Amino acid sequence: MTDPETHKKNESSELPVLQAENLLADKSPTHEEITLFGTKQTEASVFAPGTILDTKYRVISLIGKGGMGAVYKVEQIFLKKEFALKTFGGNFNENQARRFQTEAKATSKLDHPNIVRVSDFGVIDFSTPYFVMELVEGISLEEHLKKNGPLSYEEIFTVFIPLCMGLQDAHEEGIVHRDVKPSNIMLVGKPGQWQPKLLDFGIAKLIDEKTALTQTGEIVGSPLYMSPEQCSAGKVDRRSDIYSLGCTMFEAITGGPPFPGASAIETIGMHLNQEPQTLKEATMGQEFPADLERIVHTMLAKNPDQRFTSARQVAGNLIRLKQGAQLMISAHDKKLFEQNRSGPTLANYILGTIALIATGFAIYFWILLQDESRVTKVPELASTVEGFRGDRSSIIAEKGLYGMEEPPALELDTSKPFCTSVKEEKGKTIRVFNFPKKSIGLLQNRDSELTYEAKGHVEIPWRGPMVFKPTKDVVSTYPGLFDKFKDDEIASILFERETECQYDALMHLRSYKFLEELSFEDSDFNDAGIKYLDPLPHLRSLSVVTTDVTANGLAKYKGLKKLRKLSIGQMPKMANLLNALQGGDLDSLKIRFCVMSEKEYEKLAKLPKLARIEIDSPEMGPDAFNGLCHSKALEWIDLQHCFLRAETYPALAKMQNLKTLILTGHKFSAADRKFIVDSLPNCRVVFR
Element (H, E) at 314: helix 311-322
pTM: 0.63
- What's the confidence (pLDDT) of residue 97? 61
Domain segments of the chain as ranges: 4-40+140-373, 391-526, 550-688
Burial 596-628 (b: 16+ CB within 10 A, else e): beeebbbbbbbbeebbbbbbbbbbbbbbbbbbb
Contact indicator for 238, 363 with CB cutoff of 8 Å: no
Residues 356 and 359: their CA atoms lie apart, in Å, by: 5
Any catalytic annotation for residue 179?
yes
Nearest to 240 by CA among 179, 162, 319: 179
Confirm whether 4-40+140-373 and 550-688 share one CATH topology: no
Nearest to 171 by CA among 662, 670, 666: 666
Q: Given its phi and psi angles, is residue 479 left (phi above 0), alpha (psi -120 to 50 degrees) or beta?
A: alpha
Q: What is the CATH number of domain 550-688?
A: 3.80.10.10
Nearest to 129 by CA among 55, 13, 214, 44: 44
Q: How far apart are the first and last CA of the chain?
A: 45
Burial 498-522 (b: 16+ CB within 10 A, else e): bbbbbbebbebbeebeebbbbbbbb
Domain at 4-40+140-373, CATH from 3.90.1170.50, 2.60.40.10, 1.10.510.10, 1.10.10.10:
1.10.510.10
Residues 573 and 554: their CA atoms lie apart, in Å, by: 12
Contact indicator for 84, 382 with CB cutoff of 8 Å: yes
Contact indicator for 84, 132 with CB cutoff of 8 Å: yes
- What's the confidence (pLDDT) of residue 503? 78
Helices 290-299, 311-322: inter-axial angle, 10-degree rounding? 170
- What's the confidence (pLDDT) of residue 578? 96
Q: Which residues of the chain have pLDDT under 70?
A: 1-44, 66-68, 90-99, 101-103, 202-221, 329-415, 496-502, 665
Of the candidates 111, 120, 179, 413, the residue annotated as catalytic is 179
Residues 160 and 246: their CA atoms lie apart, in Å, by: 10
Residues 489 and 507: their CA atoms lie apart, in Å, by: 17
How many C-beta atoms surround the C-beta of residue 45 within 10 A? 11
Measured CA distances, 286 to 4, 254, 282, 283, 307 (Å):
19, 9, 8, 6, 25
**CA-CA-CA-CA torsion for 243, 191, 254, 168, nearest 10 degrees?**
-10
- What's the confidence (pLDDT) of residue 415? 63
Contact indicator for 271, 261 with CB cutoff of 8 Å: no
DSSP β-ladder status, 69-76 and 57-66: antiparallel
